[in-house]
Amino acid sequence: MPKMKTHSGAKKRIKVTGSGKYMRRQAGRGHLRLAKGKSTYRRRSGEVEMAPGDAKVIKKQLGR
C-alpha cells in the first residue's frame, strides 16, 4: 500500500501544539482593512483553536 501524503494546503496553514491542539489563523485579516475598523482587525490577530468538527478533518489531512 502506498504512503499517505499530507495535504499541502493544510500543512502550510495549520500548526499542531505540543498538547495536540490544532491552531489556525483567523479569517478576515488579509485585505480590505479600511472597511473593517480597528477593533475588528485587532480582535482577529493571533491564532485560535480549530473547532472540533474541523479538527477531525484536518487530522486526517495531516496524516495523524
For the structural domain made of 8-61, what CATH number should be given?
4.10.410.60
Cell for 38? 480597528
What pLDDT score was predicted for residue 64? 87
Q: What is the mean pLDDT of residues 34-62?
A: 94
Rounded (5°) CA angle 31-37-39: 110
Residue 45: helix, strand or coil by DSSP?
coil
What pLDDT score was predicted for residue 20? 94
Answer with the residue of higher pLDDT: 9 or 64: 9
Q: What is the mean pLDDT of residues 30-56?
A: 93
Q: Would you list the domain boundaries of the chain?
A: 8-61
Instruction: Say yes or no to pLDDT of 5 above 90.
Output: yes
Look-up of cell digits 480590505: 32
**Residues 14-37 pLDDT 10s:** 999 999 999 999 999 889 989 999
CB atoms within 10 A of CB 52: 8
> Are the beta carbons of 46 and 36 closer than 8 angstroms?
no
